[in-house]
């Protein structure tokens, strides 16, 4: 499991900028305006050879008891509860404030490792401006610059120091063909995840109750079907924003994200009676970002009429359009309907994620695709795609070499993806395409 780092601090000290720096993305909105971040944001970080989950929080006012700032404080406390380490971000240029003292007082009451990041400290590594932050009693202030990347590597190495990686799973020592398929069942609370697993097992192995949030942690259950070994992972439901305050649910989001990252195949369960929500789309986004094979199962299909079914189908096409490669099955976990085809889709998706794509076949398909439709001309020249090979599995990665590939549009990449998918019958797995410019030896100067 990846360790978890929470970013905490008063408004406008640069937490979201640091979040974007650690995740390498622009998910968190960044602007010179206090209070922009209100909910928690989760992202996968990778720095200095370490992988981790990072949580961005809103401006923290521990003693606020009313309004939106009270809700933001709840979100921040939740992030601290989920974290293995906390980075307390302060603004060197603005100096020490009473609010910084309030946050430090709260963090000292927790049992978490806390590091003090003195942000916006470009050129101030040994400056006297850092001295006043010793008053917080958190430890040595570390001079960093989120905007310029200065001191970030050392900060993360300190934050992750001593956080031992999880012990190697005994299944990892087995040959690949003998390892059980890790199947994570994900979805919103009360969608029927535990009921489905109990139906598969034929016993009440997991607590199933008509109340959202019954499952608090990710639970692994060994399972065998038709001679094949599986590990079923029942995850706590991801609630809508603003509904994850209760301490009993404090590990739900992180454990679900970790379960998705550790799975081979993710079964995204959707409640037919409630339709596709923003939260379903968010979970689907996490699965896609993790590159996991995915199957979508619409549970409680028997509980809606024909008009509702048509409406739901249109909603799926619109809100989950980015998962159009995923098979969609209609099931009823309680009535044991549609479970056979569901298993076939799960096995097919995992097989697609591991499929080997021979270089000669990929190159031939690439040339046929280019002959049928060439990439759009860029100025006086047109990008030339020369050959392709497989760069990885789970998910499959196709590396295409050529000239002027920076001018290849996303539309053309989707066109190539559809050609590759159709030939190799890739179902239920993301397919990633990487374009690489061929090296021209004549452009290099003699040494």
For the segment 311-358, what is each residue's pLDDT rounded down to a tens digit? Answer: 999 999 899 999 999 999 999 988 889 999 999 999 999 999 999 999
Distance CA 350, CA 346 (A): 6
The answer to whether domain 4-160 has CATH 3.30.1360.120 is no
Q: What's the 3-state SS for 254-312? A: HHHHHHHHHCCEEEEEEECCCCCCHHHHHHHHHHHHHCCEEEEEEECHHHCCHHHHHHH
Q: Using alpha carbons, list the distances in angstroms from residue 383 to 54, 206, 365, 380, 420.
A: 38, 55, 17, 10, 19
Q: What homologous superfamily does CATH list for 359-443?
A: K homology (KH) domain (3.30.300.20)
Q: Using alpha carbons, list the distances in angstroms from residue 197 to 231, 260, 280.
A: 11, 17, 20
Q: pTM for the complete prediction? A: 0.70
Average pLDDT over residues 83-111: 89
Q: What's the 3-state SS for 68-104? A: HHHHHHHHHHHHHHHCCEEEEEEECCCCCCHHHHHHH
List the structure tokens of 203.
């016993």
For the segment 124-183, what is each residue's pLDDT rounded down to a tens digit? Answer: 666 677 888 899 898 889 999 988 888 999 999 999 887 765 554 555 556 666 789 999
> One fold for both 174-353 and 359-443?
no
Is residue 362 within 8 Å of 355, Cβ to Cβ?
no
Q: Where are the domains of the chain?
A: 4-160, 174-353, 359-443
Query: Residue 420: helix, strand or coil by DSSP?
Result: helix
Give the count of beta carbons closer than 10 Å to the beta carbon of residue 17.
20
Q: Given a cut of 90, is residue 86 above it in pLDDT? A: yes
CATH topology of domain 174-353: Rossmann fold (3.40.50)
């Amino acid at each position: 499991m990846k360790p978890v780092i929470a970013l905490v601090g008063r408004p406008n000290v640069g937490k979201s900028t640091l979040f974007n720096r650690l995740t390498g993305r622009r998910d968190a909105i960044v602007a010179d305006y206090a209070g922009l971040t209100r909910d928690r944001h989760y992202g996968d970080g990778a720095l200095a050879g370490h992988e981790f989950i990072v949580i961005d929080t809103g401006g923290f006012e521990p003693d606020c008891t009313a309004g939106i700032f009270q809700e933001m404080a709840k979100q921040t406390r939740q992030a601290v509860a989920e974290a293995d380490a906390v980075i307390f971000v302060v603004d060197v240029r603005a100096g020490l404030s009473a609010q910084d003292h309030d946050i430090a007082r709260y963090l000292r009451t927790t049992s978490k490792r806390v590091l003090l990041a003195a942000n916006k400290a470009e050129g101030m590594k040994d400056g006297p401006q850092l001295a006043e932050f010793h008053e917080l009693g958190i430890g040595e202030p570390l001079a960093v610059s989120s905007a310029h990347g200065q001191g970030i590597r050392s900060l993360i190495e300190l934050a992750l120091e001593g956080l031992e990686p999880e012990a190697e799973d005994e299944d990892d020592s087995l040959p690949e063909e003998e390892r059980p398929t890790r199947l994570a069942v994900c979805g919103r609370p009360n969608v029927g995840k535990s009921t489905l697993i109990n139906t598969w097992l034929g016993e009440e192995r997991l607590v199933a109750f008509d109340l959202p949030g019954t499952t608090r942690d990710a639970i692994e259950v060994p399972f065998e079907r038709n001679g094949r070994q599986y590990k079923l992972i029942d995850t706590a439901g991801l609630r809508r924003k603003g509904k994850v305050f209760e301490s009993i649910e404090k590990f739900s989001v992180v454990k679900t994200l970790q379960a998705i990252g550790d799975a081979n195949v993710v079964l995204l369960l959707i409640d037919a009676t409630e339709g596709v929500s923003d939260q379903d789309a968010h979970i689907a986004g996490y699965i896609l970002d993790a590159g996991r094979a995915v199957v979508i199962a619409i549970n409680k299909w028997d509980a809606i009429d024909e008009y509702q079914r048509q409406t739901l189908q249109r909603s799926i096409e619109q809100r989950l359009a980015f998962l159009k490669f995923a098979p969609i099955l209609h099931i009823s976990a309680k009535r044991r309907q549609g479970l056979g085809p569901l298993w076939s889709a799960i096995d097919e998706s995992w097989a697609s994620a591991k499929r080997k794509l021979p270089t000669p076949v990929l190159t031939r398909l690439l040339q046929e695709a280019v002959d049928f439709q060439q990439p759009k001309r860029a100025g006086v020249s047109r990008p030339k795609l020369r050959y392709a090979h497989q760069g990885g599995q789970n998910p499959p990665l196709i590396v295409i070499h050529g000239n002027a590939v920076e001018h290849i549009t996303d539309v053309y990449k989707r066109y190539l993806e559809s050609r590759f998918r159709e030939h190799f019958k890739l179902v239920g797995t993301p397919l990633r395409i990487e374009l690489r410019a061929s090296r021209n030896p004549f452009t290099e100067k003699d040494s």
